[in-house]
Amino acid sequence: MADMTLILAWDQEEAGRIIEVYKMFEHKPPDLIMEKQDANPYSMLVDALTSVRSINRTDAMTLLSTFGSLEKIIEATEEELSMCPGFGPQKATRLHKVLHQNFKKPQYQKKKPDRQPASSSSDKVASQVPESSVEKNS
């Protein structure tokens, strides 16, 4: 039962075409049937914009047709972004925030240990003794 593949089709002709294609690619490597990546800049830009949460392909194409370039999309205010069809204030705010956040991680400097002046050993002992025990001994 585990070696079975279920294929759904609208009619017998479509089922026949699916089985035919399946048999042609049965012993071929998987990368042969995988989706090809478009190398043109427009497609790459649409893919980059759709990586932002809630921005779909239609939204990305709307942005590009409205503003014309990524530079102009970045320069747009939240209000200008929200004027695009399919964009509300929430989606516009989210996109604006993503496009204007700092992508670099802040570089933290290592703190140098504070050097305290050398103190006598009696000061160290006195500071380690609880105050309640000092009062009892007096």
* 18 or 125, which is more confident: 18
Q: Which residue has the higher pLDDT, 32 or 84?
A: 84
- Report CA-CA distances (Å) from 133 to 123, 127, 128, 129: 16, 12, 11, 7
Per-residue model confidence as pLDDT tens digits over 11-57 = 899 888 888 888 888 888 777 666 666 678 888 889 889 988 889 99
Question: Does 124 score more than 60 pLDDT?
Answer: no
Q: Are 84 and 62 in contact (CB under 8 A)?
A: yes
- Output the CA–CA distances (angstroms, integers) from residue 104 to 63, 100, 108, in the order listed: 25, 12, 12
